[in-house]
Structure 1
């Protein structure tokens, strides 16, 4: 009888559907909206088709200003990359409503409406940290393997997470949005060192197009932008203690890289610039994941 029961239990285990992890609320290979604990806020969560019961790496995908979580999933195609490489994607809505979408709260920096977030606005950094803890508690996510990427305003928010939440994120990948703190008040062509002081080296891979007129790699633009992308790269390289770079090389006819290496904790700073590309998702998702995969918190 005992042998029969054991065989039955083994059969049921074989036939039962694979879950991302005990309690993870999304079926592998699908995307669903889930409420994060008692925050009253939610994320669109995609669990890869190959998910097992082990906690998986987690990539936050942050939408552009005026967008939402569904928009960034459509623009980035990260759900397909998730299924290919086996990580979870979380696409939240930002905390400040604007028209039909949302904008991120980066303290001291005006949103696209021109308004500087105030004390009554939602704290997006606190929410994202809570989301990490909640997804880890559900058994979905490995808290040592959490990464962030984002488009435009979401790229600037991703950069901000590198500045203020380096203890929670293992690497970041801003897309048309790399910053290294606010523009310096007395010289807007430089980042203000006091506004970006990560606790640990932060690996960075950034993507942009050299024909971007909204967040121009050459600098200028809106008040939240101003200094060049190369100045942002140099600042991250200094924060990470990189000793070599920028090394420049062509990766394709329309693509080149600037790379800082020999950094503390191996935290490289890379920038991939697409010639002729504008204010769009310029990221190579597979290259982004290969970069992320190298780092643990």
Structure 2
């Protein structure tokens, strides 16, 4: 397998091998899964791009919520799929999961390099590829455009934040794990709407330190500053702090448009928390820091996601709105699903319904 980090400097190459081994260990030592996984491809920007699709067991026909999950640097999408165990939540809750694959296992997240030593060798549009996967699943009738969500781990988390800043309307909510935003985002991040976002960071993370780092290619904010940036952009009130198993939760509510920012300060390393940990997690902890149990990342993220978005469908009838307490004189166009006035009337989260985005051509293979 061709990796950019093997191109030069044998010492760095050896370090890359160690990092990859530790990233793979939890899944290789864990149970096999993904019986519903489909290997898929699309052509985007003239190149074949791959992703894994998981459709929930016994899912009813029709569009379903979609979660797109982005792997970390040097971490294959299939390993991310098994390591995170998001599919089990999808089977229980009835949403579709797509795991796109980065070229050479790296995402172009807007920085000049990943982790300071993995250069982005070509300016590929990975944000566009992620949204093309979303659009393809919407066109096939599998995904509901009003309930599409984006999450990512490490390098995938950086790309998630990049998309949130530049293409906020493409997804109803976002989540990042083990990512802090570049300092330049204080000036360049201008979402088109308030962004609901959940963020998780480890207090003992040696890869993406929670206190920030002057990483070559992008100087990083601290984890707390990253959360506060999105809270300011969303017009949120000050945070409320609560204690959870192995974590503190800083929650910024009363944000514009019904958004919220949730920041989890995990007493762990560069690994998302899980319901339980095993020998593979302990092996990975040698370099990545400990993985904590008792707080399950995919369950927490889905609980946050499902508060946002509106099922795509026709505007409610005037009679239904009057039952909900909306004055009859209200203009119909202002009451389509996802608009703030309709959300208030129907007691749902007031986020705009995302629509399929027409971008660079992408075709299925």
1:203 aligns with 2:203: no
- Distance in 2 of aligned mates of 1:37 and 1:87: 25
The corresponding residue for 1:271 is 263
8 Å CA contact retained: 1:68, 1:92: no
- More helix per residue: 2
Say if 1:43 and 1:92, in contact at 8 Å, map to a contact too.
Answer: yes
Is 1:105 paired with 2:108?
Answer: yes
Distance 1:218 1:108 in 2: 19
2:290 is equivalent to residue 290 of structure 1: no
Q: Is the 8 A contact 1:202 1:240 kept in 2?
A: yes
Taking CA–CA contacts closer than 8 Å with sequence separation of 6 or more, which of the two structures ends up with the larger relative contact order?
2
Q: CA separation of 1:108/1:212 partners in 2, compared to 1, >3 Å: closer, same or farther?
A: closer
Deviates more, 1:36-45 or 1:142-151: 36-45
Q: Is 1:162 the counterpart of 2:155 in the alignment? A: no
Aligned match of 1:183: 183
Determine the C-alpha separation between the residues in 2 that align with 1:115 and 1:279: 18
Name the residue aligned to 2:345: none
Structure with bigger strand share is 1
1:220 maps to which of 213, 223, 236: 213
| 1:1-297 aligned within 5 A | 30-36=36-42, 40-95=48-103, 97=104, 102-112=105-115, 114=117, 117=120, 120-179=122-181, 182-184=182-184, 192-220=185-213, 222-223=215-216, 224=218, 226-242=220-236, 244-252=237-245, 254-275=246-267, 277-282=268-273, 284-296=297-309, 297=353
Q: Is the 8 A contact 1:29 1:49 kept in 2?
A: no
State the Cα deviation string for residues 164-212 of structure 1 (Å, max 9, x = none): 1101011111011142xx324xxxxxxx423211111110111122111
Structure 2 contact 109–155 (Cα < 8 Å) conserved? no
TM-score normalised over the length of structure 1:
0.79
* RMSD across aligned positions (CA): 1.9
Unpaired runs of 5+ residues, structure 2, are: 1-33, 274-295, 310-352, 354-365
Distance in structure 1 (CA, Å) of the matches to 2:132 and 2:138? 10
Shift of 1:271: 0.8
d(CA) in 1 for partners of 2:205 and 2:270? 5
- Distance in 1 (CA, whole Å) between partners of 2:158 and 2:51 is 19
Tell me how far 1:85 sits from its aligned partner.
1.0
Aligned length: 252
TM-score normalized by the length of structure 2: 0.65
Cα pair 1:153 1:177 within 8 Å, conserved: yes
Of 217-226 and 278-287, deviating more is 217-226
